[in-house]
Amino acid sequence: MSELAFRIATIAILIIFYLVYFLKMVSQRKKGITTNQIAKGDKPKKVMIIETTMKAATYLVVAAEAVSIFSGWSLLPVNLRVMGILIGIVGDIIFALAVFTMRDSWRAGIPEDDKTSLVTEGIFKYSRNPAFTGFDIVYIGILLIYFNIFLLVLSIWAIVMLHLQILQEEQYLMKSFGQEYSSYKEKVMRYLGRK
């Protein structure tokens, strides 16, 4: 597989991922819903710090991915790079399914005043956090395609920050949905699988 083919495949993975993200935001905006609530509003200090740091991490990892793609940095053999493409595609599919299944309950960041519903159907039967899982899988896929230390460090940082965001969102969901969310947590794992 040529470097140009790897570059095109990786750019396609990123375009599909962010196209799903931004089309959903536009669709919700037309309905008067503010999707992006990351580090906005009057949230507790800890929430603001984690959301702000997560936002920085996700922006920086995209910048590192772009530099890696256009510089052609990769320390892995072709077979692992091809596996990275397949993993990236799986991440796109999981993310798209999550966003579609959440319908108008999807938010980026913890909503302060929005009333949403607890989604437990579709892909949420197998993951409590499929959108974040999709993010992580895309990061891992691209890391395999363009493996370098710079991208490795930033990808790990972004994945850790997404995990901290999940932990905050779980507290929010417990306060918002109580026993309904507690019962759901007992059946479905945080990232992937049923108990």
**Token pair in block for residue 147:** 């493996």
- Is residue 37 predicted with pLDDT exceeding 70? no
- Residue 36: per-residue pLDDT: 67
Window from 39-53, 59-73, 116-130 with minimum mean pLDDT: 39-53
Task: Let me know how long the chain is.
Answer: 195
In this prediction, residue 156 carries a pLDDT of 97
Main-chain phi, psi angles of 108, to 5 degrees: -100, 115
| Residues with Cβ within 8 Å of residue 139, at least 6 apart in sequence | 61, 91, 155, 158, 159
Q: CA-to-CA distance for 98 and 106, rounded, in angstroms?
A: 9
- pLDDT category at 166 given cuts 50, 70, 90 is very high
Q: Encode burial over 55-77: b for 16+ CB neighbours within 10 A, e otherwise.
A: bebbeebbebbeebbeeeebeee
Place of tokens 């905006």: 29
Name, in order, each residue with C-beta under 8 angstroms of 158's C-beta and a sequence gap of 6 or more: 54, 57, 58, 60, 61, 135, 139
Cβ neighbours of residue 107 closer than 8 Å, sequence gap 6 or more: 35, 37, 114, 116
**Is this prediction's pTM over 0.85?**
yes
Which helix H or strand E contains 105, and what residues bound it?
none
Q: Report DSSP state, residue 1.
A: -
